Structure 1
Amino acid sequence: MSDNVYQKLMRVQSKLKAPKNQFNKFGNYSYRSCEDILEGLKPLLKEVGAILVINDEVVNIANRFYIKATASFISIDDGEKIISSELAREEEERVKFDLAQLTGSVSSYARKYALNGLFAIDDTKDSDSTNKHDKDNITSLNNENKWTNPKLTDNQIKRLYAIAHSKGVVAEKVKSQVEKQLNKKVEELTKAEYDKVCEAYENIKVANS
């Protein structure tokens, strides 16, 4: 008697290895992409007798358009399936992305986290959970319909302090200025606010010595 779809998925989950084959030079960390996960899955799917199908669709929620990625794990013996979905959209303020890049980035993000949910991959401690390749310009809506907003990484905060320091402003001064002007702590800044603060310090004129 062959395994049912749940037994097959359990076998794949227990054997799947998805190493972090990508490297972000700006943030100095490694991360895994959707493609890395798929490469790890292919031999396991063949081994257990299952296929994976990923579909994207555009949905409208509260007058905003989302990409909904659905990953379906299907047993080829009986057609039984288990699915996982993730919704994602672009941020209100798009930074250095044209529309084609943005759509591709949103799709990749949604697909990756749909796969994470289906195959029990935990990225919560991964630098990629806030990496600049996808989440800086994306907001997700998880399966419980709770908003998940990306937070600034430690490397982004260090970059801000480094920019300010190059203009003669120490970190403590940055913290006080942000709290005074925006009424929040540096680590609570949105990505759009962070970009504006970095730009403001970059534009400070320093007299030649």
Structure 2
Amino acid sequence: MSEEKELSFYEKLSALITELKAPKGQRNNFGKYNYRSAEDILEAVKPLANKYGLVPMLTDEIVQVGDRYYVKAKAVITDGINTEKASGFAREPESKKGMDESQITGTASSYARKYAMNGLYQIDDTKDADTDEYKQQVDSGKPKTIDSNKSKVLKAKVKELAILASLKTGTDITPDAMYKKLSDTKFLTIIPIEKLDTEQFLTIDRYIKELEKAYSKK
């Protein structure tokens, strides 16, 4: 009788992602929809991580982008030797009625952690109603669009991704077509780069990094 083959780290992670079922255990009564929180995702991950000998971790840090502060959450999973990670960002509002500073940071942390785990465990919340929930909760003002420098940086990254995708797929993919695909996937509409706000900019930037990593493995 042959011994069962030991799974590699990425085979274990792939199995975890395939088996993961993260229920939408929260209810927004005002919007009348169900959604999943960071806690829901983590509770679903824990038993599968234990099953495959993996350890999930979450960390937070405060980072400054321009004149605003963001909570940067990092979701990590490791077998003690190999590690895979993803990050998520959430902006702290300048003020939120009825909340002290620690509560504001806690709300941003929870949302950022959810975003990070969505990326790490490939959970697609793009079409869920709660995608904009945090933004509606903490920032009633109209977000500022990105400046020309950020637009140029993002256009350069999109161009590089289009070249990489073309080489890997053998298909001629223009930067314009690549960006339209990125925007449509993340926002379900085409938002011109010049009209992106900071959060949308970070969303596209993270997605580009994920795709670069995926194409590099092919």
What TM-score do you get using the length of structure 1 for normalisation? Answer: 0.62
Deviation at 1:13, TM superposition (A): 0.6
In 2 relative to 1, CA 122–15 (structure 1 residues): closer, same or farther, beyond 3 Å? same
Normalized per residue, which structure has more strand?
1
Distance in 1 between residues matched to 2:82 and 2:126, nearest whole Å = 30
What TM-score do you get using the length of structure 2 for normalisation? Answer: 0.60
Unaligned runs of 5+ in 1: 147-209
**Residue 203 (structure 2) aligns with:** 142
Is this contact kept in 2: 1:54–1:70, CA < 8 A? yes
**Residue 97 (structure 1) aligns with:** 99
Aligned residue pairs total 142
Is this contact kept in 1: 2:38–2:110, CA < 8 A? yes
Q: What are the within-5 Å matches in structure 2 for residues 70-109 of structure 1?
A: 70-76=74-80, 79-92=81-94, 94-109=96-111
Distance in 2 between residues matched to 1:54 and 1:135, nearest whole Å = 22
Deviation at 1:90, TM superposition (A): 2.3
1:42 aligns with 2:49: no
Deviations 1:104-133 (A, max 9, x none): 1100010000000000101111111122xx
Deviation at 1:3, TM superposition (A): 2.1
**Residue 127 (structure 1) aligns with:** 129
Distance in 1 between residues matched to 2:59 and 2:39, nearest whole Å = 15
Runs (4 or more) in structure 1 with deviation over 4 Å come to none
Deviations 1:149-175 (A, max 9, x none): xxxxxxxxxxxxxxxxxxxxxxxxxxx
Distance in 2 between residues matched to 1:108 and 1:33, nearest whole Å = 8
Q: Provide the aligned C-alpha RMSD in A.
A: 2.1
In 2 relative to 1, CA 118–145 (structure 1 residues): closer, same or farther, beyond 3 Å? closer
One-letter code aligned to 1:82 = E
Is this contact kept in 2: 1:85–1:143, CA < 8 A? no
Q: What are the within-5 Å matches in structure 2 for residues 58-77 of structure 1?
A: 58-76=62-80
Deviation at 1:63, TM superposition (A): 2.9
Deviations 1:12-68 (A, max 9, x none): 110000111111111111111111101111110011110011110111221322111
Deviation at 1:94, TM superposition (A): 3.6
Unaligned runs of 5+ in 2: 140-197, 208-218
1:51 aligned to which of 52, 55, 58: 55
Q: What are the within-5 Å matches in structure 2 for residues 25-40 of structure 1?
A: 25-40=29-44
Distance in 2 between residues matched to 1:66 and 1:83, nearest whole Å = 19
Report the secondary structure of 1:122's partner residue: coil
Deviation at 1:92, TM superposition (A): 4.7
